[in-house]
Amino acid sequence: MSQEETRRGDGSLFNEDSIDGFLHRAFLRATGRSGEEVRRRPVIGICSSASELNPCNAGLSVVAESVKRGVLAAGGLPVVFPTISISEPFVRPTSMFLRNLMAMDVEQMITSSPVDAVVLLGGCDKTIPAQVMGALSAGKPALLIAAGPRPVGRFNGEALTVDDFWPLAARRRRGELSDQDWNRLEGCLMSGVGTCNVMGTATTMATVAEVLGLALPGSTLLPATGSARQDAAVRTGTRAVALAEEGRPPSEVVTAEAIEDAFRVVCAIGGSTNAMVHLAAMAGRVGVPLDFAGWSRTTPLLGDVRPSGPHLLEDLAEAGGIPAVLKELAPVLHLDRPSASGKTWADEVAEVEPKTGAALRPFDQPVAEGGALVVLSGSLAPDGAVIKRSAMDHKLLRHTGRALVFDGVTDLNARIDDPDLPVDADSVLVLRGVGPVGGPGMPEVGHVPIPAKLAREGVEDMVRISDGRMSGTADGAVALHVAPEAAVGGPLALVRDGDLIELDVDAGRLELLVPAGELERRRAGFTPPAAPSRGYELLYHRHVLQSPDGCDFDFLVKAPKVN
């Protein structure tokens, strides 16, 4: 590679009469492209996370072909390149452990490749955050189109979405679901390619990309396998060519106002708690401040879709989709920002007519006055925690109970269904040692199951507390992302069985009711876990930040802007 190419890092050399230009074109022509094709400008990289180890993203190869058609129609040269792809159900201990590695992969591929702009193809939970983080740091114009939600299935004559798995699994544990039904469920729970068909993390993060101005308006809720998503992919490719010519980097789009609006929309639609970690990481890449607690308090819950409400994603799409949500939420948003189409969001939603009443409520008739996500703090979580208010039994909004502690998943699995477990419905189940460092990677295990003996008595929700995460498809009174985590000596590490814990969601408090002197005595005996010995695990252990900072690596974060 020449010094000139290294300096520029764009696709201009494909159209130059130089040795480097000649070699660029010659190598591309080896793939069957014509001489005319390889001289097209601008060059649009299509960053694909398609993988057979990631069923949620399995449809992205087809989407890539549609993006290519849009790029070609606009006079650009499309080139598809892969990165690692991380799948929530397959990667252990968690796909979150590899999110930062994928972000670095995306960033380096964008900066090192001769492309003028990039279209990101993502889907499963951590791929979209990783791609956006990488693109923000790479600095070249970027758009995203998501894999889209899979179709809704059927089970025992009723609609089946992925969040139905949790109560069905609980029935299986209680012996209420036969082997025949359990096997049949395995074959129909995931009804096709695409991401989870509720407002889980994948759809939440696709929504975030749309609201930020990185994905075309109205693209989030289009079905994974429908013609409408392919049409959106073509339009994304066409728009990418125009964006390359404008030269606007994503950091000019993902502003403080955009981050705020994205989080408010997440709160308004009952989005995943995981969005807070990923938005914090994105904010860290561009150096903007956050006020999750304040934004949540002043954002009404308007979306009434699964897993927080009874309606399907397709019902929200019928109501007008994410643009309709933005129009209803306009009083608390900054709609003078650009959308991915090039128009401002105000212009984009001007002609939108939301169909409110079921899946989407009017601004002045919300499902609830406060947002779906509530930030907690207190003596048990000095640096914060989060709970999904919209998806919990409201009888537990204020609760005090005695702790029952589990040290890691192995301990949890060994004891949770023990008939002699010293637990009752008022107990507070604590799962620790599963945070960013302790997990490692903060796995989605915070949704501690109801102990079998209580489940058989009809207990459906309990207060649960963890330094881990939970699936965006799960529900319950689960306080997550407790920071600092137990593995680095946070107060969660000091909890003992029988300690009183107080949760007050409306007040945003999570308190450990143990005298300070006793906690100091316990702290003296704390021993952190041993560090890994090599490789990415060691790098991760040394450099990962806590959940309020997005669990990014400390050397990738940009210093906050000073006003």
Give the Cα separation of 361 and 359 in Å (integer). 7
Residue 561 in this model has a pLDDT that exceeds 70: no
Return d(Cα 473, Cα 99) in angstroms, integer: 19
Confidence of residue 6 (pLDDT cuts 50, 70, 90): very low
CB atoms within 10 A of CB 448: 23
CA distance 397 to 490: 24
Q: Which of 101-110, 174-183, 547-556 has the lowest mean pLDDT?
A: 174-183
**What does the pLDDT average to over 83-104?**
95
Mean pLDDT of 502-513: 97
Which residues lie closer than 8 Å to 167 by C-beta, 6 or more apart?
none
User: Tell me, what's the pLDDT at 8?
Assistant: 53
Element of type H or E holding 381: strand 381-388
Q: Which two tokens stand for residue 516?
A: 């300070």
User: CA 94 to CA 445: how far, in whole Å?
Assistant: 10
Q: Residue 2: its pLDDT value, please?
A: 40
Q: Give the bridge partners for 463, in sequence order.
A: 428
User: What integer pLDDT is reported at residue 7 of this predicted model?
Assistant: 40
Instruction: Determine the Cα–Cα distance for residues 238 and 232; give it in Å rounded to an integer.
Output: 10
Pick the range with the lowest mean pLDDT from 5-19, 218-232, 268-282, 329-343: 5-19
pLDDT at 1 over 90: no
Whether the pLDDT of residue 562 is over 80: the answer is: no
pLDDT at 34 over 70: yes
pLDDT in tens, 384-399: 999 999 999 999 999 9
Is the Cβ–Cβ distance between 279 and 549 less than 8 Å? no
Output the CA–CA distances (angstroms, integers) from residue 322 to 28, 159, 317, 363, 458, in the order listed. 39, 23, 8, 14, 37
Relative to beta strand 428-432, strand 142-146 is unpaired
In this prediction, residue 3 carries a pLDDT of 37
Q: What is the DSSP annotation of 29-52?
A: HTTT--TTGGG-SSEEEEEE---T
> CB atoms < 10 A from the CB of 534, how many?
7
C-alpha–C-alpha distance, residues 471 and 333, integer Å: 27
Average pLDDT of the residues in 220-246: 97
pLDDT of residue 486: 98
Looking at residues 22-42, what average pLDDT do you find?
92
Pick from 214, 240, 527: nearest CA to 345: 214
Answer for the pair 339, 214: CB distance below 8 angstroms, yes or no: no
Can you give the pLDDT at residue 41?
86
* 461 close to 477: Cβ distance less than 8 angstroms: yes
β-pairing, 500-504 vs 478-483, is unpaired
- 52 vs 38: CA distance, rounded Å: 30
